[in-house]
Structure 1
C-alpha cells in the first residue's frame, strides 16, 4: 500500500550549479502538454493499482520547481491530482517553492487546491554565495514571500539551507542561521553540498576551479548547526532535518520508514507493490509513452527480502529515533540481531551506534559519519 505520492515538475527558470535532478529550462518547453501527461499517468497508475491508493497520507510536488508554473498551470495540475488521488486521508500536501516565484495568485491557487505545507529553497542568506551556486533570489524575496504565504494561510513552512559551499566561511554560516531563526519557522532542512556528476559544479571541480571548505570546517558547520537548532527549540529528527513539535515532514518519513509511495512525472522514482521503478527522464520519451497509454517506466526492480532488510536499516538510521525493534520484527518476522548482531556490536564499540529496548540509533558522533555507518549494513549475499 502506498503511503505517499511524489509528483515531479522538471521545469526551472534558472538551473542551480549543484542540482542533479531531472530538470529543463522553462522557456520553450511543452509545459501544458506535460501537465496533461501527468494527468494521464496518474489515471493509468491508479487504474492499475487501485488498492494501493486507498490510504494516501502525503502528496509532494517537487522538481525542478513547481512554482515555475503559472497560476493557471498550477490550477490544472491540482485539478488532475484531485481527480485521480483520493484526498480523504491526505494529511500533508507539500509544494517546493522558490522565494522569487511565489506570487499572491500562485499562493491562492495552492492553498485552494489543498496544499498545506511549503518547502522553500533558500540555501543561504549571503548574496555572494547565492550567486556562486546559481540562485537568483534575494533576502528581501525570502522575507516578503514568507510574510505573503502566512497571509494566505500557510503556517507549515520549511526552508532549505546549505553549508560546505564554495568559499563559505563559518561566519557566513552563522549569519545565515541567525537570519533563518529570525523568521520563526517550524521546520528547517540543512544539507552539506555534494558535488554530483552532470552538474556545473562537477565540471568546475574536475577542472580544479571549485574551492570547497575543508572536511574539518564542514564538520564544524554541522556541529554548530545541531547546537544552534537545539538552542532555538528545534528537534533534530533526522540527520538533516529539524522541527518544532508536530511539524516533522510526514512525506520524507515515508522514505526513511522504507514504505511505499508512487512517483509521477519525467525522471520520477517510485516504490509500488514491492517494485522500485524510475520513469523516462527526457520529456519526449516520457510524454510519448503516456500518450500511447503506456506506463513511462524505463527501469524497474523487484526488491528482494535481503534488500528490504538493508534498506530498513540504512534508511531508518537516518532518523534520530533510529530503527525500532518492533517494526523490524513485524516486517521481517525475525529479530534485528538475526542478521546484524555483529555489525551492531562493532559500531557500538566504536561509539557510532547506541541501543535500548526500543531500537538502535546513531550516536551524535555517528551522525558525522552516517554514510560510513550505513554501508556496514549492506551485507554480502
Structure 2
C-alpha cells in the first residue's frame, strides 16, 4: 500500500525494526505508556495497524498500561480499524476534531465534517472505547468567539472524559504562515484569543473537566498519563520518521522524510540524524517550562533531588518577581501558574532561561 506515493508497508516493517534495534541497546528501560501519533496513524489500513500494534507489543515488551492512538474522524467511519486497535489492547483514542463548524473545517483544509465526528465517536464507543479525547483549536481564520463557544458546547455535549484545546500556531512554510506574511490571513485579535481560552477554562470546569495542564482538561482519573510523563521532563523513546527521543541526557532526532528515514534502516543502522547532550542548565529550564504547564506545578523537592541545587539557588529572584507580578504562586513546596500566568504562559517561561552562571 502507498499513501501519497510512500511505501507504507515497508515503513511499518522498518519502524518495527527500529524498535527492535533500539530496545536491544536498552533492554532494561521500562515502557509505561505508548502513544502513536504524528498526524495520521489511522490512515494505515486495518491490517497495517494490526501489524504495527503487534510489533509494539513484541518489541517494546509493553504488556499493560495506557496505549493511545491518534485518529482522524473520517478514518473511523468503518469498524475494521477500530476492531484492530481494540484487539491489540489500545486503551485510548485521541481524535483530531479541531472545530464543530463545517465552514471552518473546510477553510482550514480538514477533510472531515461534523457529521463524521459524531459517527466516529459513536463507532468508537460501540467498539468498546470509553477513554476518548478530542481536540479543539481556537484563533482559527474567520472564527468568532461565539463560533468557538458553539464548538465547546457541542464538544461537551458528547460527554467525553478528556478534551484538549489549543490556540492556532503558525508554523513556518505552511499555507497559513505565508498568508499571514502577505497580510491575507484574518485571525481573531489577541484579546478575543484570550477570551476564547478563558471560555474553554470556564466551560470545562462547569462540566466537571478539571484543567490539569494548560491545554488539557479531564474527568479525574482520565488524565493522559503519557503526556504527564512528558511534562514531568521524564525520559521517553521516539520511533519513526522525524521522531524525537530523550534518554539519559541524550535528546535525539530521527531523519524526517520517510525515504531518508528508511535508508539507514535498510543498511542496518538506527535512523538518528542528530544527538544533543542536554546540559544541566537546559535540563533545569525544561523542568520549569514543562512542569509549570501542569496544575501540579514544579516540586521544590523533586528539583533539588534531580539537580542537587535548590530552586531558590537557581531561580530565587525570578520566582519572587513573578510572584509579585501575580503570575506565579509559591506555597513553599510547589510553584504553579496563576490564572493570569496561564494566559501569559510563554512570557513566564522566558523568565526561566538561565543567562548567568549557576550559584553553587
Q: CA deviation at 1:110?
A: 0.3
Deviation per CA, 1:299-345, whole angstroms, max 9, x where unpaired? 11011111111110111000012101121122112221110000000
Q: 2:303 aligns with which of 291, 316, 328?
A: 328
Structure 2's unaligned 5+ residue stretches are: none
Q: CA deviation at 1:161?
A: 0.2
Cα deviation 1:236-280 (Å, max 9, x = unaligned): 000000000000011111111000000000100110122001100
Equivalent pair of 2:165/2:215 in contact (CA under 8 Å): yes
1:75 pairs with 2:50? yes
Residue 281 of structure 2: aligned partner: 306
8 Å contact kept, 2:6–2:258: no
Provide the C-alpha distance between the structure 2 equivalents of 1:41 and 1:87, rounded to a whole number of angstroms: 16
Name the residue aligned to 1:41: 18
Please give the alpha-carbon distance, in whole angstroms, between the structure 2 residues aligned to 1:29 and 1:202: 26
Q: Could you tell me which residue of structure 1 aligns to residue 246 of structure 2? A: 271
Q: Deviating runs (4+, > 6 A) in structure 1?
A: none
Q: Give the TM-score normalised by the residue count of structure 2.
A: 0.96
C-alpha separation in 2, matches of 1:282 and 1:177: 35
Provide structure 1 residue ranges, at least 5 long, that are not aligned to the other structure: 1-10, 12-24
Q: 1:51 aligns with which of 8, 28, 48?
A: 28
Aligned residue in 2 for 1:30:
7
Which of 95, 105, 108 matches 1:133? 108
Distance 1:99 1:228 in 2: 24
1:28 positional shift: 2.1
Once the two structures are superposed, the pairs formed by residues 236-251 of structure 1 within 5 Å of their partners are: 236-251=211-226
Provide the secondary structure at the position in 2 that maps to 1:159.
Answer: strand
| Alpha carbons 2:176, 2:185 under 8 Å: kept | yes
Partner secondary structure for residue 6 of structure 2? coil
Does residue 163 of structure 1 match 2:138?
A: yes
RMSD of aligned residue pairs (Cα, Å): 1.2
Q: Which residue of 2 aligns with 1:92?
A: 66
Q: Matched residue pairs, number?
A: 355
How does the TM-score come out when normalised to structure 1? 0.91
Greater RCO structure (CA 8 Å; 6+ sep): 1
